[in-house]
């Protein structure tokens, strides 16, 4: 199959859409939706996010000044609210108040945890570096809060219950999570055996 070279852009998707939030210096909760986000370490658990630094986003400023942030997962039935938080600006208005969202202070760090989101992480900034147009921020997870309704009996998050938003950067659209169809490690281990390794 011949390969074609594409125009240089971030085609790389899909990623989960999440809402980052932080208190500004006056105690107001800022929030922005972003899709540049991934876990990055197991022990201790850490995540990395990328926020456009050329647009002077208020949430970015509040994350850097407070040194802490929360990450919340909107569900598919919250797509309007999540997308809105990505298009309006906290300099002009109180985005969370506008949509009836409320926050509770984190239990481990001074961050606003959005009550209406079913899964939230409380994070402390451990590393930052400017990468092109974005600020790359690594956070250590200090606490994880979840609604009981998205957990199984062992206390693990069930993605089918969380119904996260999967963002398609190329198609400018949100997808649902599809079906689970293969186990990790087991699938590879069986295949390994089948090829005589």
Confirm or reject binding of residue 65 to a copy of itself (CB under 8 A). Answer: no
Residue 60 CB partners (closer than 8 Å, separation 6+): 32, 51, 52, 53, 135
Which residue from 25, 26, 148, 153 is in contact with a copy of itself, where contact means CB under 8 A?
Answer: 148
- Nearest distance from residue 27's CB to a copy of itself, in Å? 21
Q: How far apart are CA 166 and CA 17, in angstroms?
A: 6
Determine the 3-state secondary structure of 29 from DSSP: strand
Which residue from 28, 105, 110, 115 is in contact with a copy of itself, where contact means CB under 8 A?
Answer: 115
Confirm or reject binding of residue 143 to a copy of itself (CB under 8 A). Answer: yes
Q: How far apart are CA 9 and CA 1, in angstroms?
A: 22
* Side-chain half-sphere CA neighbours of 20 within 13 A: 31
Confirm or reject binding of residue 1 to a copy of itself (CB under 8 A). Answer: yes
Confirm or reject binding of residue 79 to a copy of itself (CB under 8 A). Answer: yes
Residue 163 CB partners (closer than 8 Å, separation 6+): 75, 76, 77, 176, 177
Count of beta carbons in the 10 Å neighbourhood of residue 144 = 13
Shorter beta-carbon distance to a copy of itself: residue 17 or 22: 17
Confirm or reject binding of residue 109 to a copy of itself (CB under 8 A). Answer: no
Count of beta carbons in the 10 Å neighbourhood of residue 184 = 7
Shorter beta-carbon distance to a copy of itself: residue 25 or 148: 148
Site for a copy of itself in 24-63 (CB under 8 A): 35-48, 50, 52
- Nearest distance from residue 176's CB to a copy of itself, in Å? 3
Confirm or reject binding of residue 179 to a copy of itself (CB under 8 A). Answer: yes
Which residue from 69, 84, 91, 153 is in contact with a copy of itself, where contact means CB under 8 A?
Answer: 84
Confirm or reject binding of residue 168 to a copy of itself (CB under 8 A). Answer: yes
Question: Which of 1-9, 21-29, 58-66 is the region at the interface with a copy of itself (rule: CB under 8 A)?
Answer: 1-9
Confirm or reject binding of residue 192 to a copy of itself (CB under 8 A). Answer: yes
The answer to whether the beta carbons of residues 19 and 115 sit under 8 Å apart is no
Q: How far apart are CA 72 and CA 141, in angstroms?
A: 12
């Amino acid at each position: 199959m011949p390969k074609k070279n594409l125009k240089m852009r971030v085609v790389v998707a899909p990623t989960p859409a999440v809402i980052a939030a932080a208190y500004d210096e006056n105690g107001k909760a800022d929030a922005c939706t972003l899709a540049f986000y991934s876990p990055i370490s197991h022990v201790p658990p850490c995540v990395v996010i990328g926020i456009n630094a050329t647009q002077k986003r208020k949430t970015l400023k509040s994350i850097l000044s407070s040194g802490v942030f929360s990450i919340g997962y909107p569900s598919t039935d919250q797509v309007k609210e999540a997308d809105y938080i990505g298009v309006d600006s906290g300099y002009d208005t109180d985005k969370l108040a506008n949509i009836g969202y409320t926050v509770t202070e984190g239990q481990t760090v001074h961050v606003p945890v959005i009550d209406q989101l079913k899964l939230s992480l409380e994070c402390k900034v451990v590393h930052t570096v400017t990468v092109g147009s974005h600020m790359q921020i690594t956070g250590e997870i200090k606490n994880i809060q979840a609604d009981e309704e998205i957990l199984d009996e062992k206390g693990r998050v069930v993605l089918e219950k969380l119904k996260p938003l999967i963002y398609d950067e190329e198609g400018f659209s949100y997808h649902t999570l599809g079906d689970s169809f293969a186990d990790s490690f087991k699938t590879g281990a069986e295949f390994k055996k089948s090829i005589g390794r």
